[in-house]
Amino acid sequence: MTSRLKSLIFAAIGVFGAACLAGIALNRGETINAFWFVGAAFGVYLLAYRFYAGWITAKVLCVDESRATPAEVLNNGRDYVPTHRWVTFGHHFAAIAGAGPLVGPTLAAQFGYLPGTLWLLVGAVVGGCVQDMIILFCSTRRNGKSLGQMARDELGPIAGNAALVGTLLIMVLIVAVLGLVVVNAMKHSAWSTFTVAMTIPIAILVGVYMRHIRPGRVMEGSLVGFALMILATFAGGWVDADPVLRTYFIFDGPTLALLVIAYGFLASILPVWLLLAPRDYISTFVKIGVILMLAFAIIVLQPDIKMPAFTKFIDGTGPVFAGSLFPFLFITIACGAISGFHALISSGTTPKMIANEKDIQLVGYGSMAMESFVGIMAMIAACVLEPGVYFAINSPAGIVGADVTKAVATITGWGFPVTAETMNQLAKDMGETTLLARTGGAPSLAVGMATIFAGAFGKHLLALWYHFAIMFEAVFILTAVDAGTRVGRFMLQDLLGNIYKPLGNVSSYPSAVMSSAAFVAMWGYFLYIGTIDPYGGINILWPLFGISNQMLAAIALAVATGILVKSGKLRYVWVTAAPLTVLTFITSWATYEKILSADPRVGFLAGADALEAKLMAGQLTGKMAEVAPQLIFNQRLDAVLSVFFVAVLFVTIAETVRLTLRHINGRPVPPLAEVPYRPHPPMSDVAVGHGD
């Protein structure tokens, strides 16, 4: 293709994307077609990939095609293997994409479709994608070192320890909040609970199949598991229809929380081949399946968006989560725009597979653009619901009332008309007893997906689509719960090993059990409290998770900034320093509001004080009076935790600034830990082959 033709194509994409974006932003009519969102996103990502990412790799990182990568030099056929760029892309995308970009945008839809969509696009293009790509580059130039090691080598031990502790805490919160999402999806629903519970024996069966019956045939095993899970979804419908059988699968939130906690503990101490690995294989298939289903639903069926561009809840009075557009939009979207967690993958398995530095743009920047696109699709799925229905599903009982009549009256009073008949009929169509106050995002995403599909395939399959979607989400959320617990256990052992050596021995069984129990207790606590909270728990936990995730992203960007400064790239340092500054500002502001806001729904301390006052005055009755002391304590603990997050963040930034100033003034700084240039090995043992 001639370069002129290429430029023409990119110019056409640019005009098309801009036209779509303008269409979305300027639309003031009743509805808008989802196609414009897809077009706008596609145009923005492609242009950013071609020009911004291309410019960064060429001018800022100075990617060198002639340079050997660790995969080539250290090739051991296992971790370090030069891999074709599309295979690496697949690996990396499967690792970074999880439930985060599905849940965040669904919750953020309470502000309307426009703010979330814009931040997903802008945040990814100048923040998230840049972070993922630069960290991948830095780690590739350092033989695949982890973020924590890079922070220690490049910024010093203080920043290194801050990164380690920060990572451990974000693990605790992510597992807790994802656990809460899945508990809320199963609450009082026999169908969902049965289907999700069945995924455990199915995983064990597949584990035995892959280990003993047909060793290593992972595709076969996963397909068997996938088929069984679809069967389990049908079977859930039968169980739900049986008046006796269904009672065995109906639980309230706290009981389900205890079951998830027990599951997480077991999964992390059982051998990986039995439960963890087979579940992950199936869940990866399922995950890609959901994303393709969602893409099909949106791109092919092109549903209409019913949510307005902005709702009045940008003022912070929203029922889904409390807090105004700024800064809570950014904290809530988190993963789909910029996720600190990705830095752990970009400095984990992926850099050891990079066959040539020129692949870093596709793998680092491209995968994150794709993840952000998943976020856009989740936003669309939330916004195709009638706003009244969206708020009825996502508003906790503590705000709109537990009774249908009262809840729909409250929501209609906000200007989002919905009737009790609509909600009852919808619940009946979806095969649930109720869809009111099903917070956490998963049920509303499932309703959105089922609604889009029903538009094409008829309403009689609604219940099945709904439970497929719930099962899919639950499967990969539970995988995050057990994989997260295992990683958390390693991190904890690593930290404890510094205090008392034998505790750090990862192959010692007693130490493994003990540290697993400790880690499970940490996330289990937040999960359990989340389920007894009448405001749904998500209102507290999701912002806390968002803050911790953005804090980790800021740490990763600080490390990248330090490396750019020391590489003599001071004039381009804004590439990471600008998103770092914005993130720091957003995270600090959000933390400030979460701690000190006088609004009891926003501020942790105000919330605790308000509840305490009510308790003292004897205004609380029944169950609420019982759990109030725990909720009060929890809110104060959350405040302390938030302070800690910001402290970790500021320590890292102070270290980065100190290092930058020393470097500018010509004083000694820790040397760049980059491995020296090596050309490609002559008889390169490169396993790339197909397609290239």
List contacts with another protein (CB under 8 A): 77-79, 83-84, 86-87, 90-91, 94-100, 174, 178, 210-212, 215-219, 222, 272-273, 276-277, 280-281, 284, 334-335, 339, 341-342, 344-345, 348-349, 479-480, 483-484, 486-487, 490, 506, 549, 685, 687, 690-691
- Nearer to another protein among residue 515 and residue 549 (C-beta): 549
Cα distance between residue 122 and residue 100, in whole Å: 18
Give yes or no for a cis peptide into 327 (omega within 30° of 0): yes
**Closer CB to another protein, residue 76 or residue 665?**
76
Nearer to another protein by Cβ, of 98 and 318: the residue is 98
Question: Closest approach of Cβ 332 to another protein, in Å?
Answer: 13
> Least CB distance from residue 363 to another protein, whole Å?
12
Task: Tokens for 471, please give them.
Answer: 């099962």
Smallest separation (angstroms) from another protein to the CB of 95: 6
- In terms of Cβ atoms closer than 10 Å to its own Cβ (0-12, 13-18, 19+), residue 235 is middle
Among residues 175 and 450, whose Cβ is nearest to another protein?
Answer: 175
Nearest to 549 by CA among 157, 196, 101, 159: 101
Residue listed under structure tokens 């090993």 = 497
How many C-beta atoms lie closer than 10 Å to residue 459's C-beta?
13
Supply the minimum distance, in Å, between the C-beta of residue 260 and another protein. 16
3-state SS, residue 171: helix
- Minimum distance from residue 281 beta carbon to another protein (Å): 8
User: 26 or 219, CB closer to another protein?
Assistant: 219
Q: Which is nearer to another protein, 251 or 285 (CB)?
A: 285
Using the minimum distance from each CB to another protein, give the nearer residue, 40 or 203.
Answer: 203
**Cα(338)–Cα(127) distance, rounded to whole angstroms?**
6
Phi-psi label, residue 440: left if phi above 0, alpha if psi -120 to 50, beta otherwise: left
In the complex, minimum distance from the CB of residue 219 to another protein, in angstroms, rounded to a whole number: 4
Nearer to another protein, 222 or 634 (CB): 222
Q: How far is the CB of 603 from another protein (least distance, A)?
A: 25
In the complex, minimum distance from the CB of residue 187 to another protein, in angstroms, rounded to a whole number: 22
- The dihedral built from the CA positions of residue 335, 314, 426 and 439, taken in this order, carries a sign that is positive
Q: Indicate the burial class of 79 (C-beta count within 10 angstroms; 0-12, 13-18, 19 or more).
A: middle
Return the number of the residue (28 or 690) whose C-beta is nearest another protein.
Answer: 690
Number of CB atoms found within 10 A of residue 479's CB: 25
Cβ atoms of 615 and 585 closer than 8 Å: no
Contacts of 489 (CB under 8 A, 6+ apart): 268, 512, 515, 516, 519
Dist CA 624 CA 495 (whole Å)? 38
- The least CB distance from residue 349 to another protein, in Å, is 7
The C-alpha atoms of residue 127 and residue 165 are separated, in whole angstroms, by 23
Helices and strands: H and E segment counts in the chain: 29, 2
- Min dist CB 90 to another protein, Å, is 4
Q: Which is nearer to another protein, 98 or 431 (by Cβ)?
A: 98
